[in-house]
Amino acid sequence: MLFKKQSKLDMENIPEHIAIIMDGNGRWAKKRGLSRSMGHREGSRTLKKIVEACYDLGVKYLTVYAFSTENWSRPKEEVDELMKLLYEYLQNAERELKGKNVRIIVIGDRKKLPDNIVSEINRVEEKTSHNHGLNFIIALNYGGRQEIVDAVNAIAEDIRYGRITEINEELISQRLYTRGIPDPDLLIRTSGELRLSNFLIWQSSYSELFFSDVLWPDFTPKHLEEAILSYQGRQRRFGGVK
């Protein structure tokens, strides 16, 4: 039996790493006659609640898809608002975390990001580097395919200079943006879409997937618990037989 229904969380079987595709801000706003920017702002409030919920549950790693390499193609006004929100989030992160033992890590290509955001990333990563409770990982200007391309280029340079002689999975993993971070146990996508959208495509090979019809601004800690309950009711085999 691969699935069993549970009604109560098993606190001994909380996923070590949860990844979330936070989808549905624009549709949430459209349903209410609001601008997409208002949807993103409400989604930012939801993120704060989910980070706190993961911390309280004892999750060790939470990775969220904040801005993809493809999102630059959106209207300039929307991109500008997203950048503004990201800057505000980083600027206020420590105050919002209220002294919690949370480390913030940003993954993705920083070269195209505005200087003020890069500066805030460097500051908040340094400020929280000593924390060892929840590792909160923000995927910013991130694309799974670009991540693998960058890893391959780094490996090619190592081969050119004779630093390595063999390529294996572990070597590739150590060249990804997520080096040192375990692969996600549970990957959640909100809003009813059933795809990964170029998010952690190497790392999610054996992740348990949970698709929710709830739009991201409406996603609550209760919905998070439902996803974890689903995860806990599954038998993970990693390609083997149990």
Between CA 26 and CA 34 the distance in angstroms is 9
Closest CA to 200 of 191, 187, 213: 187
36-57 and 76-97 are packed helices; what angle lies between their axes, rounded to 10 degrees?
Answer: 30
23 given a catalytic annotation: yes
Which run of H or of E encompasses 66? strand 61-68
pLDDT of amino acid 95: 87
Between CA 16 and CA 122 the distance in angstroms is 25
In tens, the pLDDT along 37-87 reads: 999 999 999 999 999 999 999 999 999 999 999 999 999 999 999 999 999
pLDDT of amino acid 1: 37
Q: According to the CATH classification, is domain 17-142+183-232 in 3.40.1180.10?
A: yes
Q: What's the predicted TM-score (pTM) here? A: 0.94
**Both tokens assigned to 64:** 């969220």
71 given a catalytic annotation: yes
pLDDT of amino acid 4: 60
Task: Say what the alpha-carbon torsion angle 78, 80, 84, 86 is, to the nearest 10 degrees.
Answer: 70
**Out of 25, 56, 71, 122, which one is annotated catalytic?**
71
**Out of 10, 13, 23, 115, which one is annotated catalytic?**
23
**Both tokens assigned to 87:** 């800057």
Contact 22, 189 (CB under 8 A): no
- For the chain, the structural domain boundaries read 17-142+183-232
**Both tokens assigned to 52:** 């706190």
Q: List the pLDDT tens digit at each of the 242 positions of the chain.
A: 345 666 699 999 999 999 999 999 999 999 999 999 999 999 999 999 999 999 999 999 999 999 999 999 999 999 999 999 999 999 998 888 888 999 999 999 999 999 999 999 999 999 999 999 999 999 999 999 999 999 999 999 999 999 998 999 999 999 999 999 999 999 999 999 999 999 999 999 999 999 999 999 999 999 999 999 999 999 887 766 55
